[in-house]
Amino acid sequence: MEPIFATDHTRELIPRIRAFIENEIIPLETAEHLTGNFSKVAAILDQKRELVKKAGLWGLQHSVEEGGLGLSLCEFGQVSEVLAYSPFGHYTFNCQAPDIGNMELMHKYAPEHLKRTYLEPLKEGHIRSCFSMTEPEFAGSNPTQLGTLAEREGDDWVINGHKWFTSSADGSSFAIVMAVTNPDAAPHRRASMILVPTDNPGFELVRNISIMGDGSDHWGSHAEVRYTNCRVPTANLIGGEGMGFTLAQERLGPGRIHHCMRWIGIAERSFDLMCRRAATREMEPGVMLGEKQFIQGFIAESRAEIDASRLMVLRTARNIDEQGAAAVRNEISTIKFYVANMMLRVVDRAIQTFGAAGITDDVLLAWYYRHERGARIYDGADEVHKTALARSILKGYGLDTRKAKQVVG
């Protein structure tokens, strides 16, 4: 816990959550649960969810009016780091992406009938959801370029399009779909967000995409989806027509804090594994691996980078709480690429410290390596965030880079 950001909430909650993760969740990190389909562990985790509810730790991300604890973004970020100490932590506490982002979005912008039918059971953990924006035919780094169309026919939207990386679609009850509703509008006003039940006959889950050899199912999946004459009521619109890009950006502001604090938790777990290995692995009689200067360099650099990242992210979270995401766009871009790279460096150093064992599924690190390499790509590739940050900085020096505008694909 970072003392300068600690509050009464975090001082009370974090030790309890850490104990739950260590006692109830980490023992489930077996090779079978980390290499196979997520459904192999989901039933057990659903039982653990009931324990979370009994402990009064359910709904940590919600406001008081939603039945939660009213944590600020900065407070929840600190909780998120602790949950990330296990790959199963966020799911067990119903704080996992993409559901947490969909809950936040629907609470603010969904009409009441959608809240009753979908948001309430989602908050209770009775159903899951997915978010359907990225398309294989268009660069994900430019979300104004979409091919999925939603056309009005009477009181319905008719949606046709092709999506992929619709994460957690397998077994979900609904998708929030980003689709073009007005092709003639300005680029940032063309798209809208529409809720589509996944039992709709026009919704097709084509496949769960294999990620570095891991073709997981259930919440752990990344799906390719087709919408073919998918008909839903116009009342399933989230927010106003043409607000899709605005809602996506608003969803991503807090979302990047969630991701970054999760990555810091992953880095901390990897750091702990690395240090334990260094302190106990004998290289020759009486000489431990941790006595080697290369390994000491890994440990020192990792400690500094994790601590720097945490301070940077929590400062950004507090500024979002106080000023709103729009006021700290540069900081949000900075933490996205900096923390993703930091986390991957720490994971890689830990694997190297374990040697051949580090790339096996006997050690958690291999799971992280497979599943977290995408951190530098999703929610805006490194190159996009670096370019946006540099342009903003240079604008303060009088250089307008818009004339040299590029979209990184």
| Residue-averaged pLDDT of the chain | 94
Q: What is the dihedral of CA 190, 195, 198, 199, to 10 degrees?
A: -120
Q: What is the pLDDT of residues 31-40, one digit of tens each?
A: 889 887 899 9
pLDDT grade for 127, boundaries at 50, 70 and 90 = very high
Per-residue confidence (pLDDT) for residue 253, from 0 to 100 = 75
Say whether pLDDT at 66 is over 60. yes
Cα(165)–Cα(208) distance, rounded to whole angstroms? 9
Which of 50-54, 347-351, 398-402 shows the lowest per-residue confidence on average (mean pLDDT)?
398-402
Cα(403)–Cα(250) distance, rounded to whole angstroms? 27
Which of 3-7, 61-65, 272-276 shows the lowest per-residue confidence on average (mean pLDDT)?
61-65
CA angle at 192 for the pair 384 and 200, rounded to the nearest 5° = 115
Burial class of 229 by CB neighbour count within 10 A (0 to 12, 13 to 18, 19+): exposed
pLDDT grade for 409, boundaries at 50, 70 and 90 = very low
Q: What is the pLDDT of residues 87-126, one digit of tens each?
A: 999 999 999 999 999 999 999 999 999 999 999 999 999 9
Per-residue confidence (pLDDT) for residue 365, from 0 to 100 = 96
Minimal CA–CA distance to 29: which of 306, 343, 368? Answer: 368
Asked if 330 and 385 touch (Cβ cutoff 8 Å), the reply is no
Cα(161)–Cα(194) distance, rounded to whole angstroms? 13
Rg (CA), the chain: 22
Average pLDDT over residues 350-368: 95
Per-residue confidence (pLDDT) for residue 408, from 0 to 100 = 43
Minimal CA–CA distance to 252: which of 138, 118, 105? Answer: 105
